[in-house]
Chains A and B, each alone.
Chain A
Amino acid sequence: MKKSMLVHIAVLVSVIVTGGLLISVSQSVRRAERDTVRLDLAIEQEKEALRVLKAEWSMLNSPDRIEALAKKYLGWDLPEASHLVSDPKNIEPAQDEQGGFMPAALGGQEVSGTPMVIPRKPAPPAYNSASNAAREESE
């Protein structure tokens, strides 16, 4: 009879322990699932934030906005074609206030490699401003 009772107790204990373990495992699984969902949500939020930032970046770097800001705060205007040269020999000396040419050491600067912005003597007008010239260019 003692043996039978011991068996009963053992079964009972094992049921309790197994039940406890099962609950623990199930809770661990649920917690892991919640963690996964939480992480997924966080990732999604980060992705959304990135999308918003990219859109804002694109908007803030809009060429018309940059151009307006450069003009307003830096006084920059649109470049002229003659500002871009590839060979330093083709740079005409900068003019001083009296209209004379300044040597490179004083006004201009030595350049090399790719194009840079350097003031250059404007090209002569291609036509007279007479009305016959105007008519010629029409159409």
Chain B
Amino acid sequence: MTEPVENACSGEPETGKSTVLQLACSRLFLLGSVFVLAYAIVAVRVFDLMIVQGTGGETRQEREELDRLARGGDLIEQARRGNIYDRNGVLLATSLKTPALFADPVLILDKPAVAKSLSEIFPDLVETETLSKIDVKKSRYEWLRDNVSPAQQERVLELGEPGLAFEYDDSRIYPLGRMTAHLLGYTDRTGRGLSGVERSAQSELAGGGDVTLTIDVRLQHALRREIQQTMDEFSASAGAGMIMDVHTGDILAGVSLPDYDLNLGTALAADPEKNEGVLSNRLTLGVYEFGSVFKIFTTAALLETQDTPLSATFDARSPIRIGRFTINDYHAQKRILTVPEVFMHSSNIGSALMARAVGAQKIQGFLSDLGLMARRKFDILEVGAPLTPKPWGEASTVTVSYGHGISITALQLCAATATIVNGGLQVHPRLIHPATPVIKPQARIISEETSEKMRALMRLVVTQGTGKKADVPGYYVGGKTGTAEKSAGKKGYKTKSLLSSFIGAFPIDNPQYLVFVMIDEPQGTKQSYGYATGGWTAAPAVARIVTSMAAILGLPSDRYDPAQDISLPLERYIKPEHTEKKKLASN
């Protein structure tokens, strides 16, 4: 016997009559459940919106934007281009988000008025060009200008023009402007390096890595200031200079003038012909015949390869004729000269005879060892290849001995001279400071003894020779002057266009720093008695640079005893008249 089934609603035993009620009751229950569920969902949602989400404080739009960012991963930032620093951590280049102005021509009503207003806000925007850009009917996007300053942005916003808007993008900023122009280089609008370190270290910088240079901006400023002052004083067309650590090859400062503001580099590069003067890198790319500074290498080659004593003599009484060339002395002594005399009087005849004594092959080999015969590897890609005589005849040996017929870069000249004075070890100049110091074995190019003799000879040039104006009491400057007539190609040389230079090192008894200054086409002044030679133009600039370096680097002036001057032992090789004259002059 089966028990009667209870009614779901009433709980009473199921009967035939109650089946309909039961069905109705179930349906009612189901419907009620649906309503309860729906209201519950609404209640939970309201609770969520008002209590849970309402405490965030942001608007719905902000919330949606945050949700979009969280989902879309826009925050996974692309690696920003790395910074460039000087050796002391001074920021030289960085990337900042700056506003760029663009126009939606469709939304601009009074286009001529907008073009006029923009040209007033941005002096570099030409009104007619701007008008032609925004007067395009179909375009919805016309880029107008990068790197809008906050003040300019405010003025644009004050126009209230709906068709002008900003978008933010990375821009390369160079806080020191033109200070390190040619070495640092610049990037294009997309952030790709176009010159200098920006170009050579592109992969590292683009990956977000920072780069530290060997440059010291304080020395860079001093070097730039003095070269610019010399250029102004002698109405020169250009100049260049370098300060180098003679042991490590670190370039502490490097200047090529005229220069340019790196923040305008891309704009200048757009018209390379017009801006060739400022864009030219005279330090590492330009090649020049440097003239008498080359006698450093000729004399070193003689002392090193021929084991010639300093007392050896060379007949400089009359000019030398080789083929169509006649070699004269600028300061003709018209007598037989010792090695120190040839060097301090900068005798072309003496140097030519020295080169002959060494021989063409050995001279070439020596210059090659010094890195003067081939393009030098360097930390930037703008490096010039030397122009060497081809074929190398006897006349080449002679002219190269005093720095003509061979064109090299200032970088090569400095590196080779550093090798001569640092004890004879090969120097590889560097601009990018290695993250971890790498100690490479340095090849010996000349002996310590030859290097010592060369340092004494260079000191003699400053104490008694053509470079007296480079002397700075207490700092033992040694060096060599150079004055070269500029080449006019096949027409020979321009006698009125000079390239005057001085390359020096200090303290010359144990050099640490090399200082080089080159002045292009200086004009003589009343104060220089009309002279525009290296001794009158570049040498005083080097003296001022050494003085500034002493203050910046904290080098005291009283560490050297004049009685211990390394040039004093050379006086026995110098004709007494000259020494006496010098003593009288100093009294």
Q: Which residues of A contact B (CB under 8 A)?
A: 1-2, 4-5, 8, 12, 15-16, 19-20, 23-24, 27-28, 30-31, 33-34, 36-38, 40-41, 44, 48, 51-52, 54-59, 61-64, 67, 78-87, 90, 114-115, 123-128, 131, 133-139
Q: Which of B48, B96, B346, B472 contacts A48 (CB 8 A)?
A: B96
> Of residues A48, A55, A90, A124, which shows the largest number of chain B Cβ atoms within 10 Å of its Cβ?
A55
Q: 8 Å CB contacts to A: which residues of B523-557?
A: 528-529, 531, 533-536, 539, 546-548, 550-551, 554-557
- The residues of B that contact A115 with a CB separation of less than 8 Å are 554-556
Question: Given A57-B91, A81-B547, A126-B468: A114 and B554 within 8 A (CB)?
Answer: yes
Total count of chain B residues near the partner, CB < 8 A: 79
Nearest-neighbour CB distance to chain B for A25, whole angstroms, equals: 11
| Closest Cβ neighbor of A117 among chain B residues | B551
Other 16 A-B pairs with CB < 8 A, given A24-B52, A139-B331 = A1-B11, A4-B8, A12-B33, A15-B37, A20-B44, A30-B70, A31-B53, A44-B75, A51-B95, A55-B173, A58-B90, A58-B92, A81-B474, A81-B546, A126-B468, A137-B531
> Of residues A54, A82, A126, A139, which shows the largest number of chain B Cβ atoms within 10 Å of its Cβ?
A139
Contact: A84 with B534, CB < 8 Å? no
Contact: A37 with B550, CB < 8 Å? no
Nearest-neighbour CB distance to chain B for A78, whole angstroms, equals: 7
> Of residues B40, B41, B330, B587, which shows the largest number of chain A Cβ atoms within 10 Å of its Cβ?
B40
Contact: A82 with B473, CB < 8 Å? yes
Q: List 14 A-B contacts (CB under 8 A).
A: A2-B6, A37-B75, A38-B66, A54-B91, A64-B179, A79-B548, A84-B556, A84-B557, A114-B554, A127-B468, A137-B536, A138-B330, A138-B533, A139-B292
Contact: B534 with A139, CB < 8 Å? yes
Q: 8 Å CB contacts to A: which residues of B306-337?
A: 330-331
- The residues of A that contact B87 with a CB separation of less than 8 Å are none
> Of residues A19, A63, A80, A128, which shows the largest number of chain B Cβ atoms within 10 Å of its Cβ?
A63
| Closest Cβ neighbor of B48 among chain A residues | A27
Q: How far is the CA of A90 from the CA of B548 in the complex (A)?
A: 20
Nearest-neighbour CB distance to chain B for A82, whole angstroms, equals: 6
Question: Given A33-B70, A55-B96, A115-B556: A139 and B466 within 8 A (CB)?
Answer: yes
Q: Which residues of B contact A (CB under 8 A)?
A: 5-8, 11, 33, 36-37, 40-41, 44-45, 48, 52-53, 56, 58, 63, 66-67, 69-70, 75, 77, 90-92, 94-97, 173, 175-177, 179, 217-218, 220-222, 225, 292, 330-331, 346, 466-469, 471-475, 481, 483, 528-529, 531, 533-536, 539, 546-548, 550-551, 554-559, 585-587
Q: How far is the CA of A44 from the CA of B531 in the complex (A)?
A: 60
Question: Given A138-B531, A139-B330: A56 and B11 within 8 A (CB)?
Answer: no
- The residues of B that contact A12 with a CB separation of less than 8 Å are 33, 36-37
Q: Which of A1, A16, A38, A78 contacts B6 (CB 8 A)?
A: A1
Q: Which of A56, A64, A138 contacts B175 (CB 8 A)?
A: A56
Q: How far is the CA of A79 from the CA of B66 in the complex (A)?
A: 58
| Closest Cβ neighbor of B52 among chain A residues | A27
Q: How far is the CA of A37 from the CA of B45 in the complex (A)?
A: 24
Contact: B556 with A85, CB < 8 Å? yes
Q: How far is the CA of A2 from the CA of B11 in the complex (A)?
A: 8
| Closest Cβ neighbor of A60 among chain B residues | B175
- The residues of A that contact B587 with a CB separation of less than 8 Å are 124
Q: How far is the CA of A16 from the CA of B6 in the complex (A)?
A: 28
> Of residues B56, B70, B467, B528, which shows the largest number of chain A Cβ atoms within 10 Å of its Cβ?
B70
Nearest-neighbour CB distance to chain A for B334, whole angstroms, equals: 15
Contact: B75 with A40, CB < 8 Å? yes
Nearest-neighbour CB distance to chain A for B224, whole angstroms, equals: 8
Q: How far is the CA of A28 from the CA of B472 in the complex (A)?
A: 74
